Amino acid sequence: MLKEFKEFIMRGNVLDLAVGLIIGAAFGRIVSSFVADILMPPIGLVLGKADFANLFINLSGKPYATLAEAKAAGAATINYGIFINTVIDFVIVAFTIFLVIRAANRMRREKPQAAADTKPCPFCCSTIAIKAVRCPQCTSEIAA
């Protein structure tokens, strides 16, 4: 059983999946940092100096200036700013994956084949040369 497990783990697709997961997790952190630290601050500035990570709806009766204060006090909040950041993260990751898969599919596409140099005989269905005027199998005359 240990030998089978070792063979399973050492198969190429399992190792590829493991590498993909690790790189994907790292890429996700990069995108999250990009959205939170680079993309959203200018957008927040344009939209009236709003910090998207700090946008929330306070469900308790007490007022809190920041989300950190509300969390420290244990107040119930709806954190829609963090949700917006997460949606933007997802869209960027999904679009990037789309571009990678699109490029891979383009590389994988087969080039169009040249015109066939054989055709089937209409009488016996054997394969004959495209320029043949008589089938070598059934000796039938082939119309040009």
Query: pLDDT tens, 46-65?
Result: 877 677 788 899 998 899 98
pLDDT at 110 (0 to 100): 66
> What CATH number does residue 54 fall under?
1.10.1200.120
pTM of structure: 0.57
CB atoms inside a 10 Å sphere around CB 142:
15
> Both 6 and 53 in a single domain?
yes
**Residue numbers of the domain that contains 71:** 2-109
* Torsion over CA: 124, 126, 132, 138 (sign): negative
pLDDT along the chain (144 residues), means of 10: 79 77 87 85 80 85 89 91 87 86 82 74 90 89 81
Query: pLDDT tens, 66-75?
Result: 888 999 999 9
Question: Is-contact 57 82, C-beta < 8 A?
Answer: no
The count of domains in the chain is 2
